[in-house]
Amino acid sequence: MNLMNKGLINVTAYSLWVDDHDALTGTILFGGIDKSKFEGELVNIDIVPIVRHIRSMYYIDIATIAVHVDGKRSEVLSRNPIFRFRAVLDPTTSWSFLPIALGSRLARKIGGTVYKKALGMFIIDCERGQSHDFVEFEFAGVKIPVLLKQLVSKVGESEDGKPVCALAFTAMQPRPGEQVIHSFEYSIGDSVLRSAYVVYDMQNKVVSIAKRASNGKVARIYALNSSGVPAGLIGQPETPLPTIHNMSTPNYGSTTLAVYRRAVVIVVVLILGFYLWSIYNRRRRRAKSTLTTDRQASFPKSH
Give the type of residue at 8: L
| pTM of the predicted model as reported, rounded to 2 decimal places | 0.71
Confidence (pLDDT) at 18: 82
According to CATH, the topology of domain 2-223 is: Cathepsin D, subunit A; domain 1 (2.40.70)
Confidence (pLDDT) at 8: 86
Phi, psi of 71 (to 5 degrees): 80, 0
Confidence (pLDDT) at 263: 47
State the CB neighbour count (10 A cutoff) for residue 205: 14
Q: 139 near 60, Cβ under 8 Å?
A: yes
Q: Is 176 helix (H, G, I), strand (E, B) or coil?
A: coil
Judge residue 242's burial from the number of C-beta atoms within 10 Å of its C-beta, 0-12 exposed, 13-18 middle, 19 or more buried.
middle
Confidence (pLDDT) at 29: 93
Phi, psi of 205 (to 5 degrees): 55, 55
In the sheet that 163-167 helps form, which strands lie side by side, from edge to edge?
113-116, 121-124, 163-167, 152-157
Boundaries of every domain in the chain? 2-223, 252-297
Q: Is 184 helix (H, G, I), strand (E, B) or coil?
A: coil
- List the pLDDT tens digit at each of the 303 positions of the chain: 578 888 889 999 999 988 766 666 788 999 999 999 999 999 999 887 665 555 445 688 887 888 998 888 888 876 665 556 788 888 888 899 888 888 888 888 888 888 888 878 899 999 988 888 999 998 888 999 999 989 999 999 988 999 999 999 987 765 555 554 445 578 898 899 999 999 999 899 999 999 998 766 788 999 999 999 998 888 888 776 655 443 333 333 333 334 344 544 454 445 555 555 566 566 666 655 554 555 455 545 554
Confidence (pLDDT) at 261: 47
Confidence (pLDDT) at 247: 35
State the CB neighbour count (10 A cutoff) for residue 104: 16
